[in-house]
Structure 1
Amino acid sequence: MTSIESAAPQPLLTTEVPGTAALLVDDDGRYLLHLRDANKPIWQAGRWSLLGGNTEPGETCDEAMVRELREETGLTVPGLTPFVTVETVDTDGRLKYRTIVYLGTLNRPAHEIPLHEGIQLRWTDAAEIVHMALDPGTAAVVHEHRKHPRPRLDSAGRPPALRIQETAAQRERSIVGVHLYLERDGAVLLGERAPESAFAPLIWHVPAGHREAGESALTCLIRETAEETGITVHASDLALVHVVDVRDPGSPVPRMQLFFAASRWQGEPQVLEPDRCTQWRWWPLDALPGQLVEYTRAALTGIARGDTYTHMGWAA
């Protein structure tokens, strides 16, 4: 069971990218909750939560909160005030991430608020929350607001902290990505991502994808390669040559990126998904493009050295 305890705010970790969230309350004491997308590799998929997101490089938490509300809903909420800091720790008590929750007042029907991310917005009475699938942090924040409806800042302007301990069932999981390393005459196959691509627009990348339900990594790679390039590869001709273990500060979920080399294949690369990739090209390994996905460059460097593992974004 998730446990909640009061805790004095700790200094932000030097490598930490804190999250932000908005506890928006109307004059009837209802809370604006956001139903997140389900069946996606995102934090708390399919659960009700607060609006918000991570800070970006160079942003303060205040600036990030304003930006996230504007991006997600187009809302501008004056008078947002830090209310609590939610600190999530693992089962061993180690801090995993920290979210600054801002309190604000909003009186606007949910159906009039344009939602650009997620499934639904709704105003919710506190009594209804016990019957909803909430993320633990949101449930803790609402419970705290019922006890202390006004911000309680210390002399330094910091809000109190709520510490939430994960259960074993909530332990961190990783997204698995698969990537094809094709080398021919000292050159590697790379594709330039489409300008409208959600990931790495106008950046070069190897053929890659994420596995679907019921797929092994090899089955996924064979499918993705055929769909993206028209090239046929067989599992018996694939070998795992590198793993990049990535914690991206812009994502709450770490990623395990697997790179497989093909000893044989059939066909020549074609642009079959122009909304994702606009061209394929063989790049000499000693003259790779400047605009290359960062973890892909790390993997290619590791493969050239004969290394099998690289970690990025982790403290150690």
Structure 2
Amino acid sequence: MPPSPSHIGDLLTAYLARHPGERGALEPLLTALGTDGGPAGRTALLGHVTCSAVVIDRDRRVLHVRHRATGLPLAPGGHVEDSDESLPAAALRRAVEEVGIPASFFSPAPGFEAVPIDVDVHDIARAPAPAPAKGEPALRHYDFRFAFHLADDAPEPAPQAGEGEGTCRLPFDGVTSPGLRAKLGASDPDGGRSGEARPVPSPLFPSGSVPQIVGVHLWLERDGKVLLGLRHPDSAYAGSLWHFLAGHCEAESATACLAREAYEEAGLVVDPADLGLVHVVHLLHRPGVPPRVQLFFRADRWKGVPELREPDKCAAWRWWDPEDLPDALVPYARAAIEGVGTGRLYTETGWPG
């Protein structure tokens, strides 16, 4: 399901704490958050939410995609889809799709992990056919713009056909959006990499803290074997590798999240009360990306047989002997299985030193 109105409201609250003078322009969206269907839907009357990625390299330039029709440089972005877990995730997805650089080379700009750097409000004229009702307003877009760093060793952009006419990088003062240009100049979202002032801290996190992504994983055993899923080759993460049934926590408890993911991914009914923690992996994929706390829960009981309910993500379910695991297994999943086998509760991987 798409990001919830409460999620959008939390982002707006954090944003307006920094930019209270923009409340008037954003008031219609605040009102629309309580309407049926939610503002992220493309058919919402009052307007809908789009997301853009403000991708910043170490030379304080912003990556743009040249629009196919006009040739104008635009930040990668677009509509929110039902599969997007959050607005920042939607922005990141669009960046990956439009510039052809894997998500692992992007990381949230410090101070902007949980708040957009800019929210642009603009009207889009409705199509002439069918004719709009008399007095019907133009469709209003609210574009949430999220700041990301581009890793120094990122490959060159490789846009796919249909995703624009190449890319370019513009300095902060060359960005065409006046609102974004002003915020880039004032907030230093490059995180001080150029030796200048540090960015404004996010109001949602204490100064100096780094948000951690929480992942949850379902440990099911049958006849001494553990259930693993084969990731689809085109999956955004771990394509063609075996992995646990897993997901990322939203605004919910870890056990509630895992129960939800079990049903959405495999049609399994799990009571959160029947889940017990068996292992924790504190994972750093690579420097510069958000660390992840990976929680593994064993279910004492469940209902159902594993189904392929998300075939674009998982191609097969199979029960594996922990002593005879596949070679093509997500490394931290293997570490967790080995940890449980030895009675160890905690593993760290990917951290320097």
TM range (shorter): 0.5 to 0.7
Specify the alignment match of 2:240 in structure 1.
202
2:271, 2:147 → 1: CA distance? 45
Does residue 314 (structure 1) correspond to residue 348 (structure 2)? The answer is: no
Contact map agreement 1:51 1:69 (CA 8 A) in 2:
no
Distance 1:239 1:297, change over 3 A: same
Q: Which residue of 2 aligns with 1:187?
A: 225
Note if 1:302 corresponds to 2:339.
yes
Tell me which residue corresponds to 1:270: 307
Distance 1:201 1:219 in 2: 26
AA in 2 matched with 1:204: W
**1:219 to 1:49, Cα distance in 2 relative to 1, 3 A:** closer
On the 8 A contact 1:52/1:68 being kept in 2, the answer is no
Could you say which residue in structure 2 is the equivalent of 1:176?
A: 214
Tell me, which stretches of 5 or more residues in structure 1 are unaligned? 1-18, 26-31, 56-60, 78-101, 108-121, 142-159
Please report how far the alpha carbon of residue 166 of structure 1 lies from its aligned counterpart in structure 2 after TM superposition.
Answer: 7.1
Aligned length: 225
Structure 1 residues 255, 298: closer, same or farther in 2, change over 3 A? Answer: same
Number of the residue aligned with 1:54: 151
Q: Compute the displacement of 1:205 (Å).
A: 0.5
* Counterpart Cα distance in 1 of 2:315 and 2:297: 23
Task: Give the aligned CA root-mean-square deviation in angstroms.
Answer: 3.7
- In the superposition, the TM-score normalised over structure 1's length comes to 0.60
| Cα distance in 2 between the residues matched to 1:74 and 1:264 | 53
Structure 1 position 222 matched with structure 2 position 275: no
Name the amino acid aligned to 1:183: E
Which of 164, 188, 213 aligns to 2:198? It is: 164
For the Cα contact (< 8 Å) 1:243–1:256, is it kept in 2? Answer: yes
1:257 maps to 2:310: no
In structure 1, how many angstroms separate the alpha carbons of the residues matched to 2:289 and 2:196?
19
Change (3 A) 1:128 1:276: closer
**d(CA) in 2 for partners of 1:20, 1:189:** 41
In the alignment, is the contact (CA less than 8 A) between 1:34 and 1:51 conserved in 2? no
Q: Give the Cα separation in 1 of the matches to 2:231 and 2:288.
A: 20
Task: Determine the structure 2 residue equivalent to 1:115.
Answer: none
Residue 261 of structure 2 aligns with an amino acid whose one-letter code is E
Q: Map of 1:231-250 to 2, 5 A cutoff?
A: 231-249=268-286
Structure with the bigger RCO (C-alpha within 8 Å, sep 6+) is 1
> Counting strand residues as a fraction of each chain, which structure ranks higher?
1
Give the unaligned 5+ runs of structure 2: 1-55, 63-72, 79-86, 93-106, 118-144
The amino acid across from 1:259 in the alignment is: F
1:22–1:50 contact (8 Å) kept in structure 2: no
C-alpha distance in 2 between matches for 1:129 and 1:104:
9
